[in-house]
């Protein structure tokens, strides 16, 4: 059951500090046990800097969404259109205190609905993030293959998952 008062909208420049704080909190909660606090801090500083988040606002080929309850940002999702027409989910994070109440499911559905002509949705998930893998499987995603995020040994080992969509 999704919480009452949930609002999902496009992210705005004023949201960037709260989105960054959300990402730092969720990344540490999710990945410290896998990579250690120091490496997670390095990754969040590089990947979720205010400059990086600002550059993702208003992109024509994608969406950058936030979920709010009582005007507090409790989750975020981003997705983009791939060259082959697929919708690529690039981010879906819910604050730990709000996980398990339907916000992630709702945010995922809205993000994918932004790509009505996409025949498939794809995402990458850390291979040791079992709760996320189970969530995506419940949402209809299946394992395509295991990949190294960018070919480096110190970056996440990811699973590429996909879901068929009903394009018009």
pLDDT tens digits along 24-38: 999 999 999 988 999
Domains and CATH numbers, the chain: 6-164 (3.40.630.30)
User: pLDDT band at 83, cuts 50/70/90?
Assistant: very high
| CB-count exposure of residue 46 (10 Å: 0-12, 13-18, 19+) | exposed
Average of per-residue pLDDT across 112-118 = 94
Distance of CA 102 to the CA centre of its chain: 15
Confidence band of 58 (pLDDT split at 50, 70, 90): confident
Query: Contact at 8 Å (CB) between 82 and 88?
Result: yes
């Amino acid at each position: 059951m999704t919480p009452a008062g949930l609002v999902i909208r496009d992210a705005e420049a004023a949201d960037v500090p709260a989105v960054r704080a959300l990402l730092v909190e969720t990344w540490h909660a999710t990945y410290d046990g896998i990579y250690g606090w120091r490496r997670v801090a390095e990754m969040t500083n590089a990947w979720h800097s205010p400059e990086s988040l600002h550059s993702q606002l208003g992109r024509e080929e994608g969406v950058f969404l936030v979920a709010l309850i009582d005007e507090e940002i409790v989750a975020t999702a981003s997705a983009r259109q791939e060259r082959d027409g697929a919708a690529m989910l690039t981010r879906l994070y819910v604050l730990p205190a709000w996980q398990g109440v339907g916000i992630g499911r709702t945010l995922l559905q809205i993000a994918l609905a932004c790509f009505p002509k996409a025949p498939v949705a794809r995402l990458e998930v850390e291979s040791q993030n079992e709760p996320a893998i189970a969530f995506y499987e419940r949402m209809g995603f299946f394992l395509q293959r295991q990949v190294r995020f960018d070919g480096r040994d110190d970056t996440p080992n990811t699973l590429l998952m996909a879901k068929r969509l009903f394009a018009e």
